[in-house]
Each structure stands twice: as structure tokens, then as C-alpha cells.
Amino acid sequence: MKKKFRRIAIGIDIGGSGIKGAPVDLKTGMFIDDRIRIATPPDASPDAIADIVKEIVDSFDLPDDVPVGISFPAPILRGTVPTIANLSQQWAGVHANELFFKKLKRPVTVLNDADAAGYAEVHYGAAHANPGTILVLTLGTGIGSALVSAGVLVPNTELGHIILPRGIEAEKYASSGVFEREDLSFEEWAQRLQEVFTYLEKLFSPNLFIIGGGISKKYKKYVPMIDTNAPIIPAELRNGAGIVGAALMAYQDDKKAGKKK
């Protein structure tokens, strides 16, 4: 008898304030169980975070072969965190894939948080089936970026760290963290974002910009003040995008690994 074909993976989103997870139906991109959130421990050390990830994964009580995708707020090069800006420096140089695999004993894929969110938006959200070049920017403590062209993700673009023509790093000038810290008005913030978008548009000429992060809900307050050739639209999956994109990537990686065996 043909084995029943299941398309499920667990997605985990690691952030500075919370670690969230849910099992995802990859046909629809919807959660199949309640999302669980545990606060990120203050020291955010690799061991402490790995323990929480295990607690969340175990709570879903799914078979051992269900893969886990982990969205992480740093670049991920062949499973390793080369540098990290907005979470504990203890992560620098850590082989995150190995760490989580040892803890979870399941197939694991770790990827950058903005890449995970962007991948989800292209598959299930605001850029669904869009064949063009899409640049996703997540506006939070930092600025994350995902570049997707014809459905293919170019990982680890890290565009939040580009130096703007005025000589300052984009995320230190225009993240939503800076907006809050410096108590900027939406007009002032929009002017700063304008510089970021103008520069990125010059470099990549995308067909579409998608903005994510909590503040994308309020896009009507600042996006109309930004002038770009490509439209800027808000992410659709919002809070769930990192979880869904990580789950999808883990599922696809696991399938590829299975074929190689």
C-alpha cells in the first residue's frame, strides 16, 4: 500500500523577546496546532535557547521524523552563525544546525529570520506565485532582508547592514527599534526609510517590496510618504511568517536529503 503522504513540519521562530513555534501544514501554510510562545531568556545563550526550542517541539507530540525549521536572527552559513548583531554574542561561531540537531534528534534546518519570512510570503502570502524579484524587509530591532527572484531565495543578503550614502548602517538609522528609541514621528521615520528604499532600489530594481515586522501593521501611517518605483506592500503572514517559512524550508531540505540517501 502506498504510504500516506504527509506534508507537515514544525516551525520555530527565535527572536530577542520570544521563541515561538507551531506545526505547519505545508499545503496551506496554516498552523495545525496552537502556536506556543516562551519568553527568550535574558542571557539568550545557545544552551538555554536550545532547551526552550526542545520544550516547544516536544509539546506538539509529533513523530520523530517530522522535520524542524528554525528561523534565527543572524546570517546562517552552512548551519553556522558567522556574526550576530541583535542577540547574545555567545552565538558567534556556533554551529546552530548541529546544536539543535543534537538536542532535538530530528531533521533540522536553521535559516535567517528574514529569509524564512520572505520565503513564506512568496509561497503563501503577499507575493504568492509572483515570478518577479521581490525584496522583503523586516522592520524590528534590526532590519532583516530577503531577496527572492522567480521563487528562488538568495539567502543571507543582510541588507540591514548596508552603509547608506550618508555613511550610516541602514538598521542603525531606520529600524523600528530606532524609530521607537529616538521617538521619531512617522514623517521623520518615513524620510529615513526613503533613503533606505532609494538605495536598495538603485542596487536591485525589485518589482515589489514587502515590509514585515510588527510595525508593518501600521504601514498606512508611513508607506504613503515613501516614493519608490516598485510598490511597497505589507507582509500578509505577519507574526507567523518566520514559523511558516522555516517549516517549509526544513520540509524541502528533508525531502532533498531523503532523495540523496
User: Which member of 21, 160, 234, 240 binds ligand BGC (CB under 6 A)?
Assistant: 160
Residues with Cβ within 8 Å of residue 176, at least 6 apart in sequence: 139, 140, 141, 213, 214, 215
Residue with smaller CB distance to ligand BGC, 36 or 85:
85
Q: Whole-number minimum distance, CB 226 to ligand BGC, in Å?
A: 20
Segment lying near ligand BGC (by CB under 6 A), choices 27-35, 72-80, 187-195, 226-234: 72-80
Q: How far apart are CA 172 and CA 163, in angstroms?
A: 10
Which one of residues 21, 53, 81, 86 is an interface residue with ligand BGC (CB under 6 A)?
A: 86
Residues 192, 138: Cα–Cα separation, whole Å: 15
Q: Please, are residues 32 and 102 in contact by the beta-carbon 8 Å criterion? A: no
Does 242 participate in binding ligand BGC (rule CB under 6 A)? no
Residue from 21, 23, 67, 73 binding ligand BGC (CB under 6 A): 73
Interface with ligand BGC, residue 142, by CB under 6 A: yes
- What's the CA gap between 147 and 160, in Å, rounded? 12
Instruction: Quickly count: other Cβ atoms within 10 Å of residue 132's Cβ.
Output: 13
Task: Candidates 2-10, 107-115, 194-202, 230-238: pick the segment binding ligand BGC (CB under 6 A).
Answer: 107-115
74 forms part of the interface with ligand BGC (CB under 6 A): yes
Q: In angstroms, what is the minimal distance from the CB of 141 to ligand BGC? A: 7
DSSP letters for 134-169: EEEEEESSSEEEEEEETTEEE----GGGPBPTTSSB
Q: Which of 107, 87, 94 is nearest to 246 (CA)?
A: 107
CB under 6 A: which stretch of 3-11, 134-142, 222-230, 236-244 binds ligand BGC?
134-142
The yes or no reply on residue 29 touching ligand BGC (CB under 6 A) is no
Residue tagged 515589489 (cell numbers): 208
Mode of pairing for the β-strands spanning 152-154 and 143-149: antiparallel
Instruction: Report if residue 125 touches ligand BGC, rule: CB under 6 A.
Output: no
Q: Which residues bind ligand BGC (CB under 6 A)?
A: 73-75, 85-86, 112-114, 138, 140, 142, 144, 158, 160, 171
